Amino acid sequence: MSAKPAILLVDDEARFRETSGRLLKRLSYEVILAENGQAALELLSRHSIDVILLDLKMPVMGGEEFLKIMRPVYPHIPVVILTGHGSLDVAVECMTRGAYYFISKPIDLDFLVLTIEKALEKKKLEEQARQLQEETVRNLLELNTEKKRLETIIQCLANGVMVTNKELEVTLYNRALLQLLDLPEKIQKPVPLSEILTDSALFETLERIQRDENTDQDPIFQEIRVGDKILRAISVPNLEPDRHVFWTVSGTVTVLEDITAFKKLDQMKSDFVNMVAHELRSPLVSIRQLQSVLAEGLAGPLQEKQEDFVRRGIRKIDALLDLINDLLDVAKLEAGRLTRRQVSTDVGKIIEELVALTAPRAKDHGITLHFSSENLKPIIADPKNIEEIVNNLLSNAVNYSPQGGDVKISARVVGDFMEIKVSDQGIGIPPQEISKIFEKFYRVKDPKTRAVAGTGLGLSIVKGIVEAYHGSIDVESSVNAGTSFRVLLPLVKEEV
Q: Which is nearer to ligand ATP, 313 or 456 (CB)?
A: 456
What distance in Å separates the CA atoms of residue 11 and residue 58, rounded to the nearest whole number?
Answer: 7
Contact 115, 5 (CB under 8 A): no
Q: Is 382 in the site for ligand ATP (CB under 6 A)?
A: no
Number of residues in contact with Mg ion under rule CB under 5 A: 2
Q: Is 251 in the site for ligand ATP (CB under 6 A)?
A: no
Q: Is 426 in the site for Mg ion (CB under 5 A)?
A: no
**173-192 CB burial, b ≥16 within 10 A, e <16:** bbbbbbebbebeeeeeeeee
Cα dihedral sign, 360-361-364-365:
negative
Which of 58, 427, 466, 487 lies at the binding interface for ligand ATP (CB under 6 A)? Answer: 427
What distance in Å separates the CA atoms of residue 199 and residue 226, rounded to the nearest whole number?
Answer: 8
| Segment interacting with ligand ATP (CB under 6 A) among 121-129, 248-256, 267-275, 453-461 | 453-461
Q: Is 396 in the site for Mg ion (CB under 5 A)?
A: yes
What distance in Å separates the CA atoms of residue 57 and residue 13, rounded to the nearest whole number?
Answer: 10
Q: Is 277 in the site for ligand ATP (CB under 6 A)?
A: no
Please give the residues from 385 up to 414 whose contact with ligand ATP meets the rule CB under 6 A: 392, 396-397, 400
Q: Is 456 in the site for ligand ATP (CB under 6 A)?
A: yes
Contact 424, 386 (CB under 8 A): no
Q: Which is nearer to ligand ATP, 209 or 386 (CB)?
A: 386
Q: Is 336 helix (H, G, I), strand (E, B) or coil?
A: coil
Cα dihedral sign, 53-54-58-61:
positive
Q: Is 217 in the site for ligand ATP (CB under 6 A)?
A: no
* CB of residue 422 to ligand ATP, shortest distance in Å: 8
Q: Which is nearer to ligand ATP, 164 or 395 (CB)?
A: 395
Which of 253, 437, 465, 487 lies at the binding interface for ligand ATP (CB under 6 A)? Answer: 437
What distance in Å separates the CA atoms of residue 12 and residue 15, rounded to the nearest whole number?
Answer: 9
* CB of residue 292 to Mg ion, shortest distance in Å: 25
Which of ligand ATP, Mg ion, none interacts with 326 (beta carbon under 5 to 8 A by kind)? ligand ATP
What distance in Å separates the CA atoms of residue 231 and residue 336, rounded to the nearest whole number?
Answer: 20
Which of 5, 237, 426, 458 lies at the binding interface for Mg ion (CB under 5 A)? Answer: 458
Helix, strand, coil distribution of the chain in percent, nearest 5 = 45, 25, 30
Contact 98, 81 (CB under 8 A): no
Please give the residues from 465 up to 484 whose contact with ligand ATP meets the rule CB under 6 A: 483
Q: What angle do CA 363, 366, 368 make, to 5 degrees?
A: 65
* CB of residue 406 to Mg ion, shortest distance in Å: 19
Which of Mg ion, ligand ATP, none interacts with 437 (beta carbon under 5 to 8 A by kind)? ligand ATP
Query: Which of 394, 399, 400 has the alpha carbon at shortest distance from 427?
Result: 400
Q: Is 58 helix (H, G, I), strand (E, B) or coil?
A: coil
Residues that bind ligand ATP (CB under 6 A): 326, 392, 396-397, 400, 424, 426-429, 437, 442-444, 449, 454-460, 483
Residues that bind Mg ion (CB under 5 A): 396, 458
